Chain A
Amino acid sequence: SQQGEEDPQALSIQEGENATMNCSYKTSINNLQWYRQNSGRGLVHLILIRSNEREKHSGRLRVTLDTSKKSSSLLITASRAADTASYFCATDINSGYALNFGKGTSLLVTP
């Protein structure tokens, strides 16, 4: 069964706007990762946040983690058409191997 649940399932915004997607998970984790998937580049790692971290930044990406609520959010600032993709959160329960992915948020960024 899938560990994470992303919300919303689909999001449509215009270029320049910010996109926020959320992930909730069920059991304790060691870390949480966000991945992006589009038809051109497949599944690509974006950012990893450890369970003892609360916020992390990478370029236009900002990830937060609230282990008390078992939730994470991914913020993409100043979105571009090239950000159009599906975004998945993945939790790493057994350190170093299996990732449990959510169902993903489908993001559409229109010019």
Chain B
Amino acid sequence: DTGVSQNPRHKITKRGQNVTFRCDPISEHNRLYWYRQTLGQGPEFLTYFQNEAQLEKSRLLSDRFSAERPKGSFSTLEIQRTEQGDSAMYLCASSPRIAGRSYNEQFFGPGTRLTVL
């Protein structure tokens, strides 16, 4: 099954440390998204790439957060100087760009669960 994969699946870190997550989208998908989900809530949009270009960032993405997709394939999300409020599930999704259609279902990875102590 060549779905969206995310690594690591779980990350425990101490406050103030930096963490980096990786997302490998479905190979033919040129759109990649990052979301954050806390307990009892729906996913909240963080940022979106089309190929290697980061086209949109949510206000939730503070200066401590940075995302890259250097070759338009995999993406990384880095959080610097982590805070306890960063504890959440970080979800990655991808979707294809289909000519003539402006809407697409998104395919989600299993997520990376971050716990900041």
A→B interface (CB under 8 Å) = 2, 4, 30-31, 33, 35, 42-45, 48, 50, 88, 90, 92, 94-104
9 cross-chain pairs, A with B, having the tightest CB-CB distances, nearest first: A101-B42, A95-B102, A45-B105, A43-B108, A98-B45, A97-B48, A31-B103, A42-B110, A101-B43
Question: Shortest distance in angstroms between A21's beta carbon and chain B's nearest beta carbon?
Answer: 13
Cα A100 to Cα B107 with chains together (Å) = 15
Determine the residue in chain B with the shortest Cβ distance to A40: B110
B85 contacts partner chain A, Cβ-Cβ < 8 Å: no
Q: Are A2 and B103 in contact (CB under 8 A)?
A: no
* Contacts A/B (CB < 8 Å), 9 sampled: A2-B44, A42-B111, A43-B91, A43-B108, A45-B107, A96-B97, A96-B102, A96-B104, A104-B42
Using an 8 Å CB-CB cutoff, how does the interface string of B19-49 with A read, 1 for contact, 0 for none? 0000000000001010100001111110010
Given A42-B110, A43-B108, A98-B58: A103 and B42 within 8 A (CB)?
Answer: yes
Question: Shortest distance in angstroms between A91's beta carbon and chain B's nearest beta carbon?
Answer: 11
Q: Which residues of B contact A48 (CB under 8 A)?
A: 103, 105
Q: Are B109 and A42 in contact (CB under 8 A)?
A: yes
Cα A43 to Cα B105 with chains together (Å) = 11
Q: Which residues of A contact B84 (CB under 8 A)?
A: none
Given A2-B42, A43-B91: A94 and B108 within 8 A (CB)?
Answer: no
B→A interface (CB under 8 Å) = 31, 33, 35, 40-45, 48, 50, 55-56, 58, 91, 93, 95, 97, 102-111
Cα A90 to Cα B33 with chains together (Å) = 14
Q: A42-B108, A42-B109, A99-B106 are in contact. List 19 more A-B contacts (CB 8 A).
A: A30-B103, A31-B103, A42-B91, A42-B110, A50-B103, A88-B43, A92-B103, A96-B95, A96-B102, A96-B104, A97-B33, A97-B48, A97-B55, A98-B45, A98-B58, A99-B35, A101-B35, A101-B44, A104-B42
Cα A42 to Cα B113 with chains together (Å) = 12
